Structure 1
Amino acid sequence: MPKLKIFVGTMYGGALDVAEQVQPLFEDAGYEVEIFDQPTLADLTDTPTDLALFCVSTTGSGDVPGNMVPFVRELDARSPGLTELRYGMIALGDGSYVDSFCGAGRSLDERLQGQGATRLGERLEIDAMETFMADDAAIPWVEEWIATQQLKVA
């Protein structure tokens, strides 16, 4: 059974809630799913990752939440090369912060691509000013992502 790892960057739990809400969709598609709410680079690189999903909220001036800082620092320091990684990105932000809207997800996306990783499809950006419950936007996006990227294995 292929493995999907969901990496969560969250400040108040919204991104973790999204991860937990979409987990059954991937299980139904035939994946063994593991959620990392204190992610490290080792979680990504030390065991095979068939597919990854990043659920990342934005804090401050476009910053990565504190629980994801070690992952990002290790990624920047080690430059592991992630040419085999296929991933999706769900970025959460607040549209009233025009210059830094979804900044954490956007910058992580650039870092991953800079390491040779391949994002499948478009990044989902969820605006807290427009969508009260982020999973209301994430669930249909994941359903469509699984279908359009032909990710179903079961």
Structure 2
Amino acid sequence: MPKLNIFVGTMYGGALDVAEQVKPLFEQAGFDVTIFEQPMLEDLIQHKTDVALFCVSTTGSGDFPGNFVPFVRAFHEQGPALSELRYGLIALGDSSYGETFCGAGRALDALLEDHGATRLGERLEIDAMETFMADDEAVPWVEQWIDSQQLKAA
């Protein structure tokens, strides 16, 4: 059974809610799914995954949420090669913050690509100013992403 790991960066629980709402979609597609609520870099490097999904909210002026800071700090320190990693990214933000909208998701995307990872499809950016419940956008996006990237294992 293929493995999918979901890495969550959240301040108030919105990104975790998205992860929990999309997990059954991946399970229905034939994946064994693990959600990392307090992700560490070792979780990405040591836990084999066929595909990774990052659900990351943005705080402050485009910053990573507190639970995700150790992951990013270790990433910068260790600079792992990720040429085998295929991933998707759901970024949560608030467009009223202007240029820093979804800043953490965009920064993570650039960091992953700089280390050789391959993003499958486009990044989903969810705007809290337009969408009250983030999973209202995330669930249909994941359904389409699974189909368009031919991720069904069953």
Other-structure match for 1:64:
64
Q: Pairwise mapping of residues 87-106 of structure 1 onto structure 2 (< 5 A)?
A: 87-106=87-106
SS at match of 1:133: coil
SS at match of 1:131: coil
Aligned-pair distance for 1:150? Answer: 0.3
Other-structure match for 1:16:
16
Q: Distance in 1 between matches of 2:134 and 2:9?
A: 14
- Does structure 1 residue 148 correspond to structure 2 residue 126? no
Runs of 4 or more above 6 Å deviation: none
- Scaled by the length of structure 1, the TM-score of the pair is 0.99
Other-structure match for 1:53:
53
Aligned-pair distance for 1:55? Answer: 0.2
- Deviation track 1:45-74 (CA, whole Å, cap 9, x = no partner) reads 112111100000000000000000010011
Q: Distance in 2 between matches of 1:47 and 1:133?
A: 30
Q: Distance in 2 between matches of 1:9 and 1:33?
A: 17
Q: Distance in 2 between matches of 1:95 and 1:132?
A: 13
Q: Can you give the 5+ residue segments of structure 2 that lack an aligned partner in the other structure?
A: none
Other-structure match for 1:41:
41
SS at match of 1:130: coil
Q: Distance in 1 between matches of 2:51 and 2:22?
A: 14
Q: Distance in 2 between matches of 1:14 and 1:127?
A: 12
SS at match of 2:96: coil
Other-structure match for 1:123:
123
Other-structure match for 1:26:
26
- Scaled by the length of structure 2, the TM-score of the pair is 0.99
Q: Can you give the 5+ residue segments of structure 1 that lack an aligned partner in the other structure?
A: none
Would you say how many aligned residue pairs link Structure 1 and Structure 2? Answer: 154
Other-structure match for 2:2:
2
Other-structure match for 1:81:
81
- Deviation track 1:79-133 (CA, whole Å, cap 9, x = no partner) reads 1100000000000000101110000000000000000000000000000000000
SS at match of 1:96: helix
SS at match of 1:121: coil
